[in-house]
Amino acid sequence: MRDFDDGKLFDDINVTPMLDLAYVLLIIFIIMTTATVQGISVNLPKASTAPSLAKPKTKAITITQDGTIYLDTYPVSLADLESLLTQYKAVTPDLPVVIKADATVQYQLVVDVLDLMGKLDIRQIGLVTKKLVK
């Protein structure tokens, strides 16, 4: 290729625009990756009103579609859940718990978790739903 101004040949490639693009893509990738790591994703059932029950010391119990139970983001069994919630209840007597279950999960599993809440005398219970879109 010849430069039209002085007749010299170009002997190198300008990589600055390519590096700019690479840096922008890297930043977008970092932002998108950190934005999606916020917990366990489940398909929530819909309700006409969805009150916010977020409190600083709220414990979240998540039940996924395959029946796995998570306390915050750690998988637990019902027995482990009972012992951990007993410990948290000893520290915070009015422990608020939010239950987030997939819409297709077996209903008996949700009832078992709610029964455990009653057994441990946890009275501040919230069920997470999606707001019904009209």
Going by pLDDT thresholds of 50, 70 and 90, the confidence category of residue 36 is low
Q: DSSP string covering 54-89, please?
A: --TT-EEEEE-TT--EEETTEEE-HHHHHHHHHHHH
Region of poorest pLDDT, from 52-61, 63-72, 109-118: 52-61
Q: Which residue has the higher pLDDT, 48 or 16?
A: 16
How do residues 38-65 score in pLDDT, each as one tens digit? Answer: 567 778 777 776 555 544 578 999 999 8
Question: Domain range holding 118?
Answer: 46-131
| Dist CA 27 CA 29 (whole Å) | 5
CATH number assigned to the domain comprising residue 70: 3.30.420.270
Q: What angle do CA 61, 65, 68 make, to 5 degrees?
A: 50
Predicted pLDDT at 55: 44
Total tally of structural domains belonging to the chain: 1
The answer as to whether 22 is a domain residue is no
